[in-house]
A and B are shown apart, each in its own frame.
Chain A
Amino acid sequence: MAADLIARLLELKGQVPSIPFPKDERELDALRVRYLGKSGVIPLLSREMAGVPKEQKPEAGKLLQEARAAVETIINDATQKIKVDKIQKDIDGEFFDITLPGAEPAFGARHPLSVVMDDIVGIFTSMGFQIEEGPEVESDYYNFEALNFPPDHPARDMQDTFHLPDIKRLLRTHTSPVQPRAMARYGPPLSVIAPGKVYRCDSDITHSPVFHQIEGFTIDRKVTMGDLKGTLQTFIHRLYGPRTKVRLRPSFFPFVEPGAEVDVSCVICGGKGCRVCKNTGWLEVLGAGMIHPNVLKFSNIDPDQWSGFAFGMGIERLAMRKYGVDDIRLFFENDMRFLRQF
């Protein structure tokens, strides 16, 4: 009788691995009833344990436990799998419309000129330039004279000026006055980036009476024109990407000498020629040069001891190209249909 029980338990143990894995709730219930139900296989065998002789009880008990654990493992695994399958099935089966419009938070936006300005200031400050701002109402001295624009010189025609006759001041025509101001305030060595508003008496689709510039300069011992090229190259590669070509060609600004106009290979056509670059393959980006000795002298800096370079750029022109804006006045009209696009 007892030997028979052990034999049947061994047989059950042998059967377990071949119990078919239940595929759904119904098969799972059937399995549970068959093995663990009141008159299931295991409870029935369990009841027979009473008649097993004492010395065989440990072996029989162990076999019974193992059989129960094996069956329970199957049932637990199956229960888990059926549950997971059901979740996945529901998910796989649903309809969901991702094309419904997104529920936007009420964000506004920065002005495109501010975005471009902040980007450029960010590049220069990370290169080591320090921000310095100057006043928008300037004296003739800082705006022109200290920058080597002699009185009654045709160079002044390049910048049509708004005057404040009551106080003998003017609205600065460029951010360059920050150069002599910073030189007077700090002295060399110095590396400054000066963003700000500037004013010229000019208004059409490419000129606004109010516009923005960024001026940068450095003064140190033995700064060379090669340093200017390298600095501008780094800047332009960060602004337009490392494959952009940079070209300097001689030009004239009274406060630099040698002076340069800086072109980049056209960001639209890559240099092949298009409408934006007027088929030249190049776009004018900024003006630059070595700080004119007269400018240093005006600020009591000895040009034989110190040298420096300076550069300046118009933000509107860069932003117009970046966003394909063809009328500068759009920047100052504040039409929401324009502002919302950025």
Chain B
Amino acid sequence: MRLSYLWLNDWVEHGLSPELLAAGLTSAGLETNIVRDLRGAYDNVVVGRVLSVSPHPDADNIRITEVDINGATLQIVCGAPNVAPDQRVAVARIGAKLPNGMVIEKRKLRGVESSGMICSEAELGISAESNGIMTLEPGIPLGAKLANHYELEDVILEIDITPNRGDCLSVWGAAREVAAISGGKLRLPDPMQEWGTGLENFSVYVENNDGCPRYTARAIRGVTVGPSPLKVRRRLFAAGVRPINNVVDATNYIMLETGHPLHAFDRRDLQDSRIIVRNARPGERFTTLDGKVHELAADALLIADAHRGVALAGVMGGLNSEVKPDTTDIILEAAYFDPVCVRKTAKALGVSTESSYRFERGVDPRGVPLASLLAARMIGASAGGTPDGFVDVYPMQWQAPAIRLRTTKVNDTLGLILSGQQVLNYLGSLGFDCKMEGDGLFAVTAPSWRHDIKIETDIIEEVARLHGYANIPATTPRLAQHEAVEGGTYRARSRMADLLAAAGFYETLNYSFINPAWRIGLGLAGKEPVPMENRINADLCELRTALLPGLLGAAALNLRKGEETLSLFETGTVFSRAVNEVREEFHCAAIMTAGEDELLGASIPRGFHRLKGILQKVIKALAGTEPAFVRPADAVRRQYLYTHRQAEIRVGETVIGVMGQMHPLALQQFDIEAPMVYFELSADALIQSRGKENTPMEPLPRFPGIKRDLALLVDERTEAGGIMETIIGTDRALIRHCRLFDLYQGPQVPAGKKSLAFRLLIQNPEQTLTDKAGDDLMAAILQRVGQRHGAELRM
């Protein structure tokens, strides 16, 4: 909310500069900043009188004026069409710096010297726009500073008002807070006075008392619609409200001042001279004064005359009954509408107005007639209307509940030792009514504008606010632990991410929602996706079932930007639908460019094996055991991977994920040409696969082992893994290690064959191994690989 410092000063004596005021309000919970500072902005703007106006020799639309500023006559070139002799005008002298940033210098306009500027309201920062120069009332002394005669040198504060403090959405609301924090005196009028009676030839019926607990109507006769006085227009402009005419401006002005939205109807348009507050009828249509037609829901609250709606209660008036230039008699509405009711209506229509914003946050039900009275007085003053009766439909008097407040609870909550009297003083300064009910025990009633005060704690916050959070001493608690909290998988996931980063991968973060077309295009199956409503990007309308699409997007972006090799990963949640529930699982996935890599001397598309190697290490570190990589069954083969370059990742008996080389057609959908390898696994499954028991260490061998190399010739389509398994299976007790260290295919071996060279470490834990035992084992191995794989020793 924008608040004029000068307007505020009408209602509270506080003695604070705008800066101190902002700081004070901020520390009391109303975050306040100075957004416009006009102090000194009119230093060189003075009152002048136009002596003469003559045409410019070279231009039709500008004129040369002579202006008397008492003691000097200035020649000023002026472009305004309304400039005329004898006008009193605002003159910006050379050196003036106007609120809009314009600096006045001596200059020539089409060859004619101009020593200043005759200002418009817009140039003076009083209005948003203006037609021509501003003319002043006669009688203001020439040469006087303009700011001495008009309210101009203001400071505009912006107060960020939290949803609970609807009572602060007005000058009065701010004034109450300022009085409480500064100890200054409030000058608000007594809300209990004589409002007037006797509304004749007009009736008000409230059908829905829940939606409208209080409705007042006041008749005003004989108004002359026209512009509002300068002061009113300036204050509205300062608050960010557009001036319209003296009747509407008065309702807006009093709303800004008191916090009560008001509405003025043209009495001619209220058919049968009546107002009915009722719910909308099914399918009822209504045109708001902005010209928009709305179809109303049945719970929308409507202000109607005998035949039709004339306003949406608390939201906006109707086009059919607004105040027009020739309006003479008006009905002024001031009411208390139910916050939820107004909110539902405004939400359903997708509108938010100054009025609905305030009603939603709760206005003061007891202050309704006062607002009506003040607006009527203002209309009387600016539009010449006379009051002509008032009616107040208020069947159930508002009564704020008395809340029990214990001083001990105040101190226990805040960590303070306040006395009952201190608590009373703080609450008293905010208008709370407190009755002592025992030792340190009070019955507290909040003022009628404080809808946020419902329970004891709400009152404790008020005490804390006024005592000052800064004055609560900091203490260090011993934090209670709960033995059942296990801590989940956060740390383990973080460790996995650290390991992948150490292995060369960069961590990415992708949105959790994707375009379903990506899932379908990739053929991601096995999980039923969860649709979502996305008002920012309607294409991204389902929750991801896998991290793959996001990673592909990230890879595509970087390749497009010229990266040649990439290693990216992400750890995050994936979602799938299970009956009426959503299953969430933490996944970890990585994608990597896969070039033709030299490994073991052979040139194979080898990103696959590099990624496999990384996974072996990372999974071993996290699960405690090495994973197995198993060719998937046809039914679960991923179509976005190469048919034969894919494997399921298993830890023990559990399949925790998949890895493989991306199918070129899948990559094509993301405009990726570079070959890429990928894995995705369930981080939850991986972390759970780690047993609770620690695997004990193996004792270090006490006897030396021997190393033997074994080069085998096999058919080129034989898998090395099977041979390795056969080798190790020959004697698991003696063969400690078996490592493939060379793979060769080429002119050195017969066509259709390849050479695989293994290095074995043979070791007997019980005794030193003899050469003979080694030889025997090698012979046994050779025989087995020959039988099972047709392998023969490469000579």
Binding site for B on A (CB under 8 A): 106-111, 113-114, 118, 121, 127-133, 135-137, 152-155, 157-158, 162-167, 169, 171, 182, 185-192, 195, 197, 199, 201-203, 209-210, 218-220, 222-227, 229-231, 233-234, 247-252, 254, 257-261, 290, 292-294, 303, 307, 331-337, 339-340
Question: Contact between A307 and B488 (Cβ–Cβ < 8 Å)?
Answer: no
A252 touching B165 in the complex, CB below 8 Å, given contacts A199-B512, A201-B535: yes
Question: Contact between A209 and B511 (Cβ–Cβ < 8 Å)?
Answer: yes
0 or 1 for each of B485-516: is its CB under 8 Å from A? (1 = yes): 10111110010011011111111111111000
Question: Contact between A210 and B28 (Cβ–Cβ < 8 Å)?
Answer: no
A220 to B481, CA, bound (A): 10
Interfacial chain B residues near A166, Cβ < 8 Å: 530-531
Binds A, one of B47-55, B577-585, B615-623, B761-769: B577-585
B469 at the interface (CB under 8 A from A): yes
A227 touching B476 in the complex, CB below 8 Å, given contacts A164-B531, A210-B512: yes
Question: Contact between B474 and A230 (Cβ–Cβ < 8 Å)?
Answer: yes
Interfacial chain A residues near B581, Cβ < 8 Å: 167
B340 at the interface (CB under 8 A from A): yes
Contact of A258 among B464, B561, B568, B572 (CB under 8 A): B464
| A298 vs chain B, min Cβ distance (A) | 14
| B474 vs chain A, min Cβ distance (A) | 4
- In addition to A107-B502, A250-B469, A251-B29, 4 A-B residue pairs with Cβ atoms within 8 Å of each other are A133-B489, A137-B543, A186-B485, A258-B413
**Chain A contact residues: helix, strand, loop or mixed:** mixed
Question: Contact between A114 and B494 (Cβ–Cβ < 8 Å)?
Answer: yes
A195 to B29, CA, bound (A): 27
- Residue ID in chain B nearest A195 by CB atoms: B490
Question: Contact between A224 and B506 (Cβ–Cβ < 8 Å)?
Answer: no
Contact of A224 among B412, B500, B554, B575 (CB under 8 A): B412
A333 to B339, CA, bound (A): 42
A136 touching B413 in the complex, CB below 8 Å, given contacts A162-B533, A252-B163: no
Question: Contact between B512 and A249 (Cβ–Cβ < 8 Å)?
Answer: no
0 or 1 for each of B218-260: is its CB under 8 Å from A? (1 = yes): 0000000000000000000000000000000000000000000
Interfacial chain B residues near A187, Cβ < 8 Å: 482
- Residue ID in chain A nearest B454 by CB atoms: A294
A108 touching B412 in the complex, CB below 8 Å, given contacts A163-B532, A335-B561, A337-B561: no
Interfacial chain A residues near B477, Cβ < 8 Å: 218, 220, 223-224, 227, 230-231
A168 to B164, CA, bound (A): 27
Query: Can you list 7 A-B pairs with a CB-CB distance of less than 8 A?
Result: A113-B509, A137-B543, A167-B580, A229-B474, A250-B464, A258-B413, A293-B457
Question: Contact between A251 and B162 (Cβ–Cβ < 8 Å)?
Answer: yes
A118 touching B487 in the complex, CB below 8 Å, given contacts A108-B503, A155-B163, A220-B477: no
A210 to B266, CA, bound (A): 50
A121 to B481, CA, bound (A): 16
Interfacial chain B residues near A227, Cβ < 8 Å: 415, 475-477
Interfacial chain B residues near A251, Cβ < 8 Å: 29, 31, 162
Residue among A106, A137, A222, A233 with most chain B CB within 10 A: A137
Question: Contact between A152 and B566 (Cβ–Cβ < 8 Å)?
Answer: no
- Chain B contact residues (Cβ within 8 angstroms of A): what range? 35 or more
Question: Contact between A131 and B475 (Cβ–Cβ < 8 Å)?
Answer: no
- Residue ID in chain A nearest B26 by CB atoms: A249
B351 at the interface (CB under 8 A from A): no
Residue among B344, B458, B485, B575 with most chain A CB within 10 A: B485
Residue among B412, B475, B497, B561 with most chain A CB within 10 A: B475
Contact of B494 among A118, A222, A252, A258 (CB under 8 A): A118
Question: Contact between B508 and A154 (Cβ–Cβ < 8 Å)?
Answer: no
Question: Contact between B506 and A336 (Cβ–Cβ < 8 Å)?
Answer: yes
Question: Contact between A114 and B497 (Cβ–Cβ < 8 Å)?
Answer: yes
| A80 vs chain B, min Cβ distance (A) | 38
Interfacial chain B residues near A334, Cβ < 8 Å: 508-510, 554, 557-558, 568
Interfacial chain B residues near A165, Cβ < 8 Å: 531, 533
A231 to B474, CA, bound (A): 8
B27 at the interface (CB under 8 A from A): yes
A135 to B575, CA, bound (A): 10
B677 at the interface (CB under 8 A from A): no
Contact of A152 among B344, B415, B474 (CB under 8 A): B344
Contact of B480 among A106, A190, A294, A339 (CB under 8 A): A190
Question: Contact between A108 and B512 (Cβ–Cβ < 8 Å)?
Answer: no
Question: Contact between B536 and A252 (Cβ–Cβ < 8 Å)?
Answer: no
A114 to B493, CA, bound (A): 11
| A139 vs chain B, min Cβ distance (A) | 10
For chain B, residues 553 to 594, give those with C-beta under 8 angstroms from any C-beta of chain A.
554, 557-558, 561, 563, 566-569, 572-573, 575, 577, 580-582, 584
Interfacial chain B residues near A107, Cβ < 8 Å: 501-502, 504
Interfacial chain B residues near A218, Cβ < 8 Å: 477, 479-480
A109 touching B507 in the complex, CB below 8 Å, given contacts A231-B476, A334-B568: yes
| B163 vs chain A, min Cβ distance (A) | 4
Question: Contact between B511 and A130 (Cβ–Cβ < 8 Å)?
Answer: no
Question: Contact between B554 and A229 (Cβ–Cβ < 8 Å)?
Answer: no
B371 at the interface (CB under 8 A from A): no
Question: Contact between A339 and B470 (Cβ–Cβ < 8 Å)?
Answer: no
A224 touching B414 in the complex, CB below 8 Å, given contacts A121-B490, A167-B580: yes
| A180 vs chain B, min Cβ distance (A) | 15
Interfacial chain B residues near A169, Cβ < 8 Å: 582
A185 to B486, CA, bound (A): 12
B534 at the interface (CB under 8 A from A): yes
- Residue ID in chain B nearest A160 by CB atoms: B535
B16 at the interface (CB under 8 A from A): no
Question: Contact between A226 and B163 (Cβ–Cβ < 8 Å)?
Answer: no
A108 touching B534 in the complex, CB below 8 Å, given contacts A220-B477, A227-B415: no
A340 touching B506 in the complex, CB below 8 Å, given contacts A191-B479, A197-B573, A233-B474: yes
A318 to B693, CA, bound (A): 39
For chain B, residues 331 to 371, give those with C-beta under 8 angstroms from any C-beta of chain A.
339-340, 343-344, 360-361
Interfacial chain A residues near B606, Cβ < 8 Å: none
| A113 vs chain B, min Cβ distance (A) | 6
Interfacial chain A residues near B500, Cβ < 8 Å: 108
Interfacial chain B residues near A114, Cβ < 8 Å: 494, 497, 507, 509
Question: Contact between A189 and B482 (Cβ–Cβ < 8 Å)?
Answer: yes
| B54 vs chain A, min Cβ distance (A) | 49
Residue among B29, B482, B563 with most chain A CB within 10 A: B482
Interfacial chain B residues near A158, Cβ < 8 Å: 163
A111 touching B507 in the complex, CB below 8 Å, given contacts A169-B582, A191-B480, A334-B557: yes
B633 at the interface (CB under 8 A from A): no
Interfacial chain A residues near B412, Cβ < 8 Å: 222, 224, 307
Contact of A137 among B476, B561, B569, B582 (CB under 8 A): B582
Question: Contact between B361 and A171 (Cβ–Cβ < 8 Å)?
Answer: no
For chain B, residues 531 to 559, give those with C-beta under 8 angstroms from any C-beta of chain A.
531-536, 543, 554, 557-558
B472 at the interface (CB under 8 A from A): yes
Question: Contact between B511 and A210 (Cβ–Cβ < 8 Å)?
Answer: yes
A220 touching B480 in the complex, CB below 8 Å, given contacts A108-B501, A260-B469, A336-B506: yes
Question: Contact between A133 and B415 (Cβ–Cβ < 8 Å)?
Answer: no
B753 at the interface (CB under 8 A from A): no
Question: Contact between A154 and B533 (Cβ–Cβ < 8 Å)?
Answer: no
| B618 vs chain A, min Cβ distance (A) | 12
Interfacial chain A residues near B536, Cβ < 8 Å: 201-203, 209
A223 to B568, CA, bound (A): 45
B455 at the interface (CB under 8 A from A): yes
A154 touching B361 in the complex, CB below 8 Å, given contacts A136-B512, A226-B415, A331-B509: yes
Contact of B506 among A136, A226, A332, A339 (CB under 8 A): A339
A209 to B537, CA, bound (A): 10
0 or 1 for each of B172-196: is its CB under 8 Å from A? (1 = yes): 0000000000000000000000000
Interfacial chain A residues near B543, Cβ < 8 Å: 137, 164
- Residue ID in chain A nearest B406 by CB atoms: A304
0 or 1 for each of B1-42: is its CB under 8 Å from A? (1 = yes): 000000000000000000000000011110100000000000
Interfacial chain B residues near A231, Cβ < 8 Å: 476-477, 479
